[in-house]
Copies of this chain bind each other. A is one copy, B any other.
Amino acid sequence: MPKNVPLNQAYRLLNHGPTVLVSTAYGEQRNVMAAAWNMALDFDPPKIAVVIDKKTYTRELIEASGHFAINVPCRAQASMVVKVGSSSGHELVEKTVGHKFAAFDLPTFSASKIDAPLLEGCVAWLECKLIPEPHIQTTYDLFLAEVVAAHADERVFSNGRWHFEGHDELRTIHHVAGGAFMAIGEAFQAKP
C-alpha cells in the first residue's frame, strides 16, 4: 500500500497540519509518541521541524540514533493515537511491559533508509535524519530533520495531492486538546 512519494513533494504530506506519530529505534529499543507540533521547513531537499519534550523516551532514542520517522495517522487510528500519546515509553519499559509497539499490539514495517519502524495503517510516512542543533533542542525542545524518504497510501495521496473522498476513515486527524480532534474535511481549489 505505501507508495514512494518524490522527495520534492514530501512537504505536501504535512502541509495541511495533521497530528503525527514519531517513531524511533536504537538497537533493540524503540518507541512511538504523538506530536501535534510539527511542520514542514523546506521543499527540496525537504526538511521538517517537530517538538519533542525533554522527558520523552523518544528523545533519548533520537539523540542516540540520529533518525526518526514521522507517521501520519488517520481517523481509524484516533484511539490508538490517544493511547500512544498518553502513555510513557519509559514507564512501559521499566515495568517490563515492553515497548509501546508490543504493549499496544501495533504492527510495523521497515523503513527504507533508517532504522525506525513505520506504523501500519497510517496514510503517510516520512523517514527523517536529525539535523543536530543543540541550542534549540535544549532551549525549545525543537528538533529539525532532513526527510530522506517519503511514502503515502496511494488510495488517499497520489500525484502530489490528497484525495480523501470515499475514504472517511483514512482522513488525517488534527488534535485540539484532551482527545478532541477534527478530521480533515472538504477539498477545494481557491480561485485567485
List chain A positions with a Cβ less than 8 A from chain B. Answer: 9, 12, 15-19, 36-42, 47, 49, 51, 75, 78-79, 81-83, 86, 133, 135-136, 140-142, 144, 160-162, 164, 171, 173-177, 179-192
Contacts and interface: CB of A to CB of B under 8 A. Distances in A.
A190 B81 CA distance: 9
A20 to B, nearest CB: 10
Given A37-B41, A174-B184, A180-B189, 19 more contacts: A9-B177, A12-B176, A15-B36, A16-B182, A17-B18, A36-B40, A39-B49, A40-B51, A41-B140, A49-B142, A82-B191, A82-B192, A86-B192, A136-B136, A161-B176, A164-B182, A173-B190, A179-B192, A181-B188
A141 to B, nearest CB: 8
Contacts of A75: 188
B188 A183 contact: yes
Oligomer: number of copies = 2
Contact of A162 (B38, B182, B187): B182
B160 A177 contact: yes
Contacts of A39: 17, 36-39, 49, 51
Contacts of A174: 15-17, 184
B175 A16 contact: yes
A47 B136 CA distance: 13
A16 to B, nearest CB: 4
